[in-house]
Amino acid sequence: MCGIVGAVAQRDVDQILLEGLRRLEYRGYDSAGIAMVDRSGGLKRIRRVGKVASLSEALEAHPMPGPLGLAHTRWATHGAPTEQNAHPHFSHQRVAIVHNGIIENFASLREQLLADGVELESETDTEVVAHLIHSAVDAGQSLLEAVQGALERLDGAYALAVIDRLQPDVVVGARRGSPLVIGIGIGEHFLASDAAALLPVTQRFVYLNEGDVVELTRAGWRIFDAAGEPADRPVVTSRLSVDAAEKGRYRHYMQKEIHEQPEAIANTLEGRISEHSVLEAGF
């Protein structure tokens, strides 16, 4: 579980991202963080162990407005729940990534990076992906190409979102094993693990399929399927309200909780299951 929110807009999105994290708190997490690209192209981040509320206080003390950003709640699998290991992870103060899930072959990727002289700041599986993407954008690839190339080298389960401060019009997202949804605005677009995170800004969503990669800009979005082919996914208008703790078809909340247990367990394990087994690192 845990959560991802991303945005590319004209207005400042820091508070939108933070509100998104608050709305994902139900998913459980041990730390939270946010990275923003400001209007002069500077990339900054704040991370905190514990609640989104302490991230929010830190952001109040050190405001980071900007039209491009990512935010994350982490449930640690690789490396203790510390600030150093909290997301977003950076590569070369240029690329930022947030990730839910587990990269199963991270140890061999990490060894290759260390052999190439890359300095790693964290113990996470996620940081290696930031460096793979950085080396591709550094060689001149678009962020989309760089992410697609990096994904080919990954085994495991993930939802992820990536920004590059030198390509400040783009957020790239990908899903395999964890959910990811696009939120459609006017001249602005969003990504999140759950549509509920984005209800304050839109009710129009596109749900990504397994293996999809998406390139979001202010003007629109392009989706590519697992084979790299352009894909069309339907736009869905949500009927959920902004304060969507609804009883739905149940008579009362306890009945709803009882009937939602299978779904709650499935949601908890998503991102912790590879093709053949539950990933032990998830526990």
Where do contacts with ligand GLU occur on this chain (CB under 6 A)? 2, 74-79, 85, 99-102, 124-126, 271
Cα 89 to chain centroid, rounded: 11
Report the nearest approach of ligand GLU to the CB of residue 271 (Å).
6
Q: Which residues pair with 12 in a beta bridge?
A: none
Indicate the residue among 76 and 146 with the shorter CB distance to ligand GLU: 76
Return the DSSP state at 198: G
Report the nearest approach of ligand GLU to the CB of residue 100 (Å).
4
Dihedral pair phi/psi, residue 4, rounded to 5°: -130, 140
Indicate the residue among 12 and 127 with the shorter CB distance to ligand GLU: 127
Report the nearest approach of ligand GLU to the CB of residue 141 (Å).
24
Cα separation, 182 vs 9, in Å, equals: 13
Indicate the residue among 77 and 91 with the shorter CB distance to ligand GLU: 77
Cα separation, 14 vs 42, in Å, equals: 14
Q: Which residues pair with 34 in a beta bridge?
A: 46, 71
Indicate the residue among 77 and 148 with the shorter CB distance to ligand GLU: 77
Report the nearest approach of ligand GLU to the CB of residue 5 (Å).
13
Count other Cβ atoms within 10 Å, centred on residue 54: 14
Report the nearest approach of ligand GLU to the CB of residue 194 (Å).
14
Describe the crossing of helices 143-152 and 126-138 by its angle, rounded to 10 degrees.
130
Indicate the residue among 131 and 188 with the shorter CB distance to ligand GLU: 131
The H-assigned helical ranges of 36-189 are: 52-61, 106-115, 126-138, 143-152
